[in-house]
Amino acid sequence: MEEAAVWMTGPSAQTMTGGGGRIDAAIGWERLWRPITARGCDVGWDIRGIGLALCERLLDEEPGLQLCLACRNMCRAQEARAALLTSHPRAQVGLLQLDTSSVTSVLKAAQEVKLRYSQLDYLYLNAGIMPNPQFDVKAFFKGVFSSKVVNMLATGEGILTQKDSTTADGMQEVFATNLFGHFLLVRELESLLCQPGHTSQVIWTSSSNAHQSAFSLEDIQHQQGTHPYSSSKYATDLLSLALNTHLNKQGLYSSVICPGFVMTKLTYAILPAFPDFLWTLAMPIFWFIRMFTNTFTLTSYNGAEALFWLFKQTPESLDAYSKYHSLTSGRGANHIQPRKMDVDEDTAEALYQKLLELEDQVRKKEERRDNASLLL
Ligand SMILES: NC(=O)C1=CN([C@@H]2O[C@H](COP(=O)(O)OP(=O)(O)OC[C@H]3O[C@@H](n4cnc5c(N)ncnc54)[C@H](OP(=O)(O)O)[C@@H]3O)[C@@H](O)[C@H]2O)C=CC1
Ligand SMILES: CC(C)=CCC[C@@H](C)[C@H]1CC[C@H]2C3=C(CC[C@]12C)[C@@]1(C)CCC(=O)C[C@@H]1CC3
């Protein structure tokens, strides 16, 4: 058994098909897109997600680091691994199949991790979705000419809604993917994270879009509303606080970060009708906006700044009530800013208890399913 330094969900290379030669114009402009050199599963253009950018930064810092990438799509996972090994031949990069929206997959992946490793130092919980985003163009232009413009551009508040769906386990998909799957994983891996005389870090990719107004303890899965993403990210902030309350004494420290606004598969989907050349034309506008709000980090490299920074901190020095923001100045310099979160211990504890109840229910369901398949 090995000691894994870093374990990460959702770091695969993203591929965007189509686009033709026009995307070429963006190459070199902060390296938003890169052509896929070793053609693998998809043919198209590679846009790195924040997770993969973090892996590269971690390996730049410690080339011999032991990484394990947990991805739902093994084809993309292999592409990500190949890219990492090309730039860092000494790296040890393991792969694991994991779909955070599926209880069975999470339990199976956790079992596999427990077989492979005896201890985890870092667990990055980065997988996230924002399905069927609806961009309110009218509200956007109204916001641009109001005093709320900076807040709107920094958080996306008031201009985005999503249409959620249900998973095979009967849960809301955004809740299951962004929050519950990760929660179950932490619970399953507690024994590897909480080792005597050892500290570990659990690091969540949250968002500035985490709004208290989108979240309700009566509807933690956000079945009723139209802001499931925002609700799941606010729940992430609460859960991180609760994990600290319950597990700090056992050596587990949880933190949340916000990567800022980064151009990735997730954000491109917000304006799918936008042709590639318009995104390219929008870049100077984004750089201009960056002069007024340093939350426009734009590249995955910049967005990963806070995740990377946390890797170098002693866990005991971190503040459980702060979210660590990646920020990029108008001149392109990166820095970190801790900002107090809008969370309280009672709500965090109430959510934690509800998640434990749900965990109990899904485990019983899994047991019944396993028993039924044994009988067959
Ligand atoms: N981009 C931005 O501006 C911001 C992003 N964030 C957060 O950053 C994180 C990373 O997003 P980003 O890099 O932007 O977007 P990407 O879409 O590029 O990355 C998301 C990653 O999550 C993985 N993923 C999605 N669903 C699942 C699942 N069910 N099981 C396992 N993995 C899954 C994706 O895998 P696959 O390759 O299979 O699709 C992908 O690797 C997310 O949590 C997002 O909410 C927060 C604030 C702003
Ligand atoms: C000129 C032009 C095309 C403007 C449109 C800009 C918007 C698409 C972005 C402005 C702020 C962005 C933002 C997000 C998505 C895209 C914007 C609304 C997020 C909501 C994406 C997911 C997050 O977690 C937080 C981001 C905050 C900022």
The type of residue at 143 is: G
Residues 6+ apart with CB under 8 A from 297: 259, 260, 261, 262, 303, 305, 326, 327, 328, 334
Residues 6+ apart with CB under 8 A from 238: 215, 343, 347, 348, 351, 352
Per the document, the length of the chain is 376
**What angle do the packed helices 181-193 and 228-247 form, to 10 degrees?**
20
Q: How many domains are contained in the chain?
A: 1
Instruction: Tell me which residue of 306, 315, 272 sits closest to 134, measured CA to CA.
Output: 272
Q: Indicate whether residue 261 lines ligand 2 (CB < 6 A).
A: yes
Determine the distance separating the centroid of ligand 1 and the alpha carbon of 198, expressed in angstroms: 29
Determine the distance separating the centroid of ligand 1 and the alpha carbon of 125, expressed in angstroms: 10
CB 9 within 8 A of CB 77: no
pLDDT tens for the 376 residues of the chain, in order: 555 567 777 665 433 322 222 222 222 233 333 333 333 343 334 468 999 999 999 999 999 899 999 999 999 999 999 999 999 998 999 999 999 999 999 999 999 999 999 999 999 999 999 999 999 999 999 999 999 999 999 999 999 999 999 999 999 999 999 999 999 999 999 999 999 999 999 999 999 999 999 999 999 999 999 999 999 999 999 999 999 999 999 999 999 999 999 999 999 899 877 777 788 888 899 999 999 899 999 999 999 999 999 999 999 999 999 999 999 999 999 999 999 999 999 999 999 999 999 999 999 999 998 888 776 6
Query: What pLDDT score does 40 carry?
Result: 36
229 is known as an active-site residue: yes
The pTM (predicted TM-score) of the whole model is 0.92
- Coil, helix or strand for 311? helix
Query: What pLDDT score does 2 carry?
Result: 53
Note down the domain range covering 216. 2-375
Catalytic residue among 117, 229, 253, 301: 229
Determine the distance separating the centroid of ligand 1 and the alpha carbon of 128, expressed in angstroms: 4
Q: What is the CATH number of the domain that holds 14?
A: 3.40.50.720
Q: Does ipTM come in above 0.90?
A: yes
